[in-house]
Amino acid sequence: MVAVSPRSRSPSSPGGLLDLVTRLVGQQMSERLGQPVVIENKPGADGLLGIRYVKSQPADGYTVLASAGTIAIQPAVKQDPGYDLMKDFTGSAP
């Protein structure tokens, strides 16, 4: 059986504030889970590329999206952002 590492996706570029927070939370997750947490950035289209990517992944708990206000704002400013915040995602806090 292949072990699967949890993945945290950030819809922002590396080096920014959201990236820093994602990495700090990922480090805490790794310590609590006892296994590495892979941090991957998927920037572009005001965060939509990363958000849509996470939406397309299985809802198995191994892919986590780190997002700020962008995920809530996009549906208000885009006619079809490609996701429904209330149906496609489950919120959590560290």
Q: Length of the chain, please?
A: 94
- The answer to whether 38 touches 8, Cβ cutoff 8 Å, is yes
Q: What is the pLDDT of residue 3?
A: 64
User: Token pair 């079809």 is at which residue?
Assistant: 80
Q: In what order do the strands lie in the sheet with 7-10?
A: 38-41, 7-10, 63-65
CA–CA distance, 53 with 40 (Å, rounded to integer): 11
Query: Structural domain boundaries of the chain?
Result: 7-87
Q: What is the pLDDT of residue 94?
A: 59
- The answer to whether 7 touches 60, Cβ cutoff 8 Å, is no
**94 residues of the chain, pLDDT tens digit each:** 446 788 888 888 899 999 999 999 999 999 999 999 999 999 999 889 999 999 999 988 889 998 888 899 999 999 999 999 999 999 887 5
In sequence order, the 6+-apart residues with CB closer than 8 A to the CB of 58 are: none
| Topology, domain 7-87 | D-Maltodextrin-Binding Protein; domain 2 (3.40.190)
